[in-house]
Amino acid sequence: MVTIAAIIYEPGSSIKNKTGTWRTFRPILDTNKCVKCENCYIFCPEGAIQEDENGNFKIDYDYCKGCLICMNECPVNAITKVREEK
Amino acid sequence: MCEVKVITGTSAAAEAAKLADVDVIAAYPITPQTTCVEKLAEFVANGELDAEYIKVESEHSAMSACIGAAATGARTFTATASQGLALMHEMLFIASGMRLPIVMMVANRALSAPINIWNDQQDSIAERDSGWIQIYVEDNQETLDSIIQAYKIAENEDVLLPVMVCLDGFILTHTVEPVTIPKAERVRDFLGVYEPKHAYLDPDRPITQGPVGVPDCYMETRKQVEEAMERAKKVIKEVNEEFSERFKRKYGNGLVEAYNLDKADTVLVAMGSVCGTIKYVIDELKKEGKEVGLLRIRTFRPFPKEDIKEFLKDANNIAVLDKNISLGFNKGALGIEMASILKNKKVCNYIVGLGGRDITIDNIKSIINHVEKAEDDETVWVGLKE
Amino acid sequence: MQFPREELFAPGHRGCAGCGAAIVARLLLKAAGKDTIISNATGCLEVMTTPYPETAWRVPWIHTAFENAAATASGVEAAIKALKRKRGKYKDKKINVIAIGGDGGTADIGFQSLSGAMERGHDMLYIMYDNEAYMNTGIQRSSSTPFMAATTTSPAGSKIRGEDRPKKDVAMIMAAHGIPYVATACISYPEDFMRKVKKALSIEGPKFIQVLQPCTTGWGYPPEKTIEIGRLAVETGIFPLYEIENGEFRITYKPAKRKPVKEYLKMQKRYRHLTDEDIERIQKYIDEKCKLLGL
């Protein structure tokens, strides 16, 4: 049933929409090379790069659209790309 | 107990907004509404009303600000007329679609061009499909009472729709009449405070209001407004009853008011202040032994189809007066609606009083004569110059 | 840890890959925090974040129409004041009221509503996310489109070579309103943008920030270049970063040596029709502008 005035009561419900399927290129982050400058974290339009419990940055491929801003902005070339196989 | 003031319609509207203890007012001046928002500014400046008064730069922003305020959970009021209402047009649909119980006074005035500051009802009639409840009042007392009632109707959980209370420009807005002002505590007791459950902006409950209505949900939201309009008919009647119990004033059954219908074969149907003139004519004719009735339509939206059919079941000559014209169809909006629900009756339509043209007692009498003699449905422009 | 970790702008939104507007929203909310109400004008950001029943917003959010994000926010701000005072709502919490609109919704159709809200002194922050054209409807020119940029309504033809008018200076017009805080920012400088948002929110009254966000679709460049191009806009002096606090103007980022505008222009399809002569003309125009600002 449509809510009154189509109000959305569940904050951040867009997480149901897995935009990872949009990708043509997959960024791969090499944790060993990462200097934790946070560039990839802060510039990601999806917020798809987050710290894991060990303090390493990880790419969430459920949402990563493959824009590769992270790769372009990485100062130490810790991020590379591979073509997605369909 | 209560106070009687001799005041204009716009002052009565301002008094009502004060009594309703509105939280936010956003308004822009326009003739003949201006004296209402001036009065409210005075109330706020003197500390008689504790409200935020936003002096917006246009009517479009007036309605936008009211929507923002109502969506935050505030009781809001604005007032406008004519071109101002037309400028609000876009936002009217958004106010109702977002289910926000905003109350607005409309000082009915003709639409340009040519520019004309005088009364007719084209401005609010042009907004009939906007999802707003429309109440047309007959006098200044009803203006005050209807605005108070409007909050009770709009904020009802079964309704949650905005309401415009329409009063005829100059005829009511600038004419003084004795108006009984109820005690503020009694109005507060009648209305309670506005505590919305469906829509309010609060960081403790982050909701998204006004999202993209994709084809998968849009029709349902429109149907919901239609259903709320239907439920509003019952709510308007109940509010009229409860108001009458508490304040000893009553306006028909809330939706329509019948006047001398019992023995009348000829019935006039009209909205707004002209009903006062019609009642006078009916009383005069009664003295001569002639029975003519009036069915005053108080709420044009929701349109009280069932009540109209019931009240007019015995009438044969139906004269519908319209202070508006649907150009290209040569009928007024009320005339069109009446013809669509009274299929087997003679329904003549009279276009009257556009742009402040006087509607005289003789005009009313000529309408009665005409409808009684007419053989079929006809449209007549009354009082046109050669 | 340089940046707050709280994500108030959720993934799953429908922004293009490499969308600059999404970066604006994410950074804005990181700076503003959860006690924020957003009034969003119709446009890319509104459309891509809220197709019913999904929303990317984790703060209260309202959209009413295109030209009135500021007027809607005026009502929100007034309601908060009234409800705090009359009914003790929000328990003395400081709530940030932020209106956000694109360059079309701000510099063009929403200009009157914005001017009114700023002039009236509401305690609100207005964010103009500037991608220099109507991107949501398919890249039509706005008054914020820069000189000679090609859009679908200012195409590069044989007689008219793209947009024939210079970019409207909305930040300076806002400064002329005498409001306490005006700034320009760019998503390629997130610390600078977030610092400006925080500073703006610490000041009572109307505040305005114009944030440049390159648009991969509208400007015509590969999505990974969004940040790089924004950086070049600043490094060339095409989009200077400054703030005006209580009337006092201050450049917040001064490139050591301005790069030639050619480096910025040549990366984008919207400028691909430019001749060396055209580029020279733009360079001269930018040099004059920068001289005025002390860049």
pLDDT in tens, C42-65: 999 999 999 999 999 999 999 999
> Cβ of B2: how many Cβ atoms within 10 Å?
10
Question: Does A74 reside within a domain?
Answer: yes
Write the residue in C50, C82, C87 that is nearest to B52 by C-beta.
C82
Number of domains in chain B: 2
Burial class (CB in 10 A: 0-12, 13-18, 19+), B28: buried
- Give me the CATH number covering residue A57: 3.30.70.20
Question: Does B90 reside within a domain?
Answer: yes
The rounded percent of chain B whose pLDDT value lies above 90 is: 99
Question: Does A25 reside within a domain?
Answer: yes
pLDDT in tens, C139-150: 999 999 999 999
Taking residues B271-286, report their average pLDDT. Answer: 98
Question: At which of B247, B282, B297 does a domain end?
Answer: B247
Are residues B314 and B215 located together in one domain of the fold? no
pLDDT at residue B339 in the model: 96
pLDDT at residue B90 in the model: 98
| pLDDT of A86 strictly over 80 | no
Write the residue in B160, B206, B211 that is nearest to A6 by C-beta.
B211
Tell me if B143 sits within 8 A of B35, measured CB to CB. no
Are residues B272 and B241 located together in one domain of the fold? no
Nearest CA in chain A to C225: A69
Nearest CA in chain A to B200: A7
pLDDT in tens, C115-131: 999 999 999 999 999 99
Token duo for residue C216:
């991969």
Number of domains in chain A: 1
Are residues B206 and B108 located together in one domain of the fold? yes
Tell me if C117 sits within 8 A of C101, measured CB to CB. no
pLDDT at residue B109 in the model: 98
Question: Does A60 reside within a domain?
Answer: yes
ω into B114 cis (within 30 of 0):
yes
Write the residue in C55, C58, C224 that is nearest to A69 by C-beta.
C224
**Residue to substitute from B208, B217, B220, B224, interface C, most C β-carbons within 10 A:** B208
pLDDT at residue B15 in the model: 98
Nearest to A13 by CA among C48, C32, C50: C50
Chain A residues close to C34, C-beta within 8 Å: none
Question: Does B386 reside within a domain?
Answer: no
pLDDT at residue C91 in the model: 87
Question: At which of B219, B247, B275 does a domain end?
Answer: B247
In the sheet that holds B24-26, the strands lie side by side as B52-54, B24-26, B76-80, B103-108, B163-168, B133-136, B299-301
| pLDDT of B246 strictly over 90 | yes
CA separation for the pair C162, C156 (Å, rounded):
4
Residue B23 contacts C where some CB pair is shorter than 8 Å? yes
pLDDT at residue C6 in the model: 97
Integer angstrom CA distances of residue C50 from C10, C61, C62: 11, 10, 10
Backbone φ and ψ of B160, nearest 5°: 50, 60
Residue A11 contacts B where some CB pair is shorter than 8 Å? yes
Q: pLDDT grade, residue B386 (50/70/90)? A: confident
Crossing angle (nearest 10°) for helices C20-32 and C190-202? 50
pLDDT in tens, C246-289: 999 999 999 999 999 999 999 999 999 999 999 999 999 999 99
Integer angstrom CA distances of residue B31 from B34, B111, B232: 6, 12, 31
Q: Which single residue is written with the structure tokens 């929110």?
A: C201
Tell me if C70 sits within 8 A of A29, measured CB to CB. no
The rounded percent of chain C whose pLDDT value lies above 70 is: 100
Taking residues C25-33, report their average pLDDT. Answer: 98
Question: At which of B226, B247, B268 does a domain end?
Answer: B247
Task: Return mean pLDDT, chain B.
Answer: 98
Q: How much is the CA Rg of chain A, to the nearest whole Å?
A: 16
Interface predicted TM-score of the whole assembly (ipTM), two decimals: 0.98
Are residues B193 and B268 located together in one domain of the fold? no
- Give me the CATH number covering residue B344: 3.40.50.920
Burial class (CB in 10 A: 0-12, 13-18, 19+), C100: buried
Are residues B237 and B264 located together in one domain of the fold? no
CA separation for the pair C84, B102 (Å, rounded):
20
Chain B residues close to C124, C-beta within 8 Å: none
Cβ distance of A6 and B213 shorter than 8 Å: yes
Nearest to A69 by CA among C4, C216, B351: C216
- Give me the CATH number covering residue B204: 3.40.50.970
DSSP assignment of A63-81 equals T-----HHHHH-TT--EEE
> Is the four-CA dihedral C62, C65, C70, C74 of positive or negative sign?
negative
Neighbours of chain B (3+ CB pairs under 8 A): A, C
State which amino acid sits at residue C175: A
> Cβ of B254: how many Cβ atoms within 10 Å?
26
Backbone φ and ψ of C97, nearest 5°: -100, 115
Residue C267 contacts A where some CB pair is shorter than 8 Å? no
pLDDT at residue C92 in the model: 85
Q: pLDDT grade, residue B73 (50/70/90)? A: very high
Residue B17 contacts C where some CB pair is shorter than 8 Å? no
Are residues B175 and B283 located together in one domain of the fold? no
Residue A7 contacts C where some CB pair is shorter than 8 Å? no
pLDDT in tens, C174-223: 999 999 999 999 999 999 999 999 999 999 999 999 999 999 999 999 99
Residue C50 contacts A where some CB pair is shorter than 8 Å? yes
If DSSP codes are grouped into helix, strand and coil, which group holds residue B135?
strand
Taking residues B311-326, report their average pLDDT. Answer: 97
Residue A82 contacts B where some CB pair is shorter than 8 Å? no
Cβ distance of A45 and C10 shorter than 8 Å: no
Are residues B227 and B272 located together in one domain of the fold? no
Task: Return mean pLDDT, chain C.
Answer: 97
Q: pLDDT grade, residue B1 (50/70/90)? A: low
Taking residues C16-36, report their average pLDDT. Answer: 98
Residue B207 contacts C where some CB pair is shorter than 8 Å? yes
Cβ distance of B203 and C115 shorter than 8 Å: no
C187: closest CA of chain A, how far (Å)? 8
Are residues B70 and B104 located together in one domain of the fold? yes
Give residue B355's domain range. 256-381
Give residue A32's domain range. 18-83
Cβ distance of B60 and C90 shorter than 8 Å: no
Q: Kindly give the pairing relationship between strand C241-245 and strand C248-253.
A: antiparallel
Residue A16 contacts B where some CB pair is shorter than 8 Å? no
pLDDT at residue A85 in the model: 86
pLDDT at residue B2 in the model: 79
Question: Does A78 reside within a domain?
Answer: yes
Domains of chain C, earliest start first: 20-293 (3.40.50.970)
| pLDDT of A21 strictly over 90 | yes
Neighbours of chain C (3+ CB pairs under 8 A): A, B
- Please give the DSSP secondary-structure letter assigned to residue B58: S
Are residues B201 and B275 located together in one domain of the fold? no
If DSSP codes are grouped into helix, strand and coil, which group holds residue A26?
strand
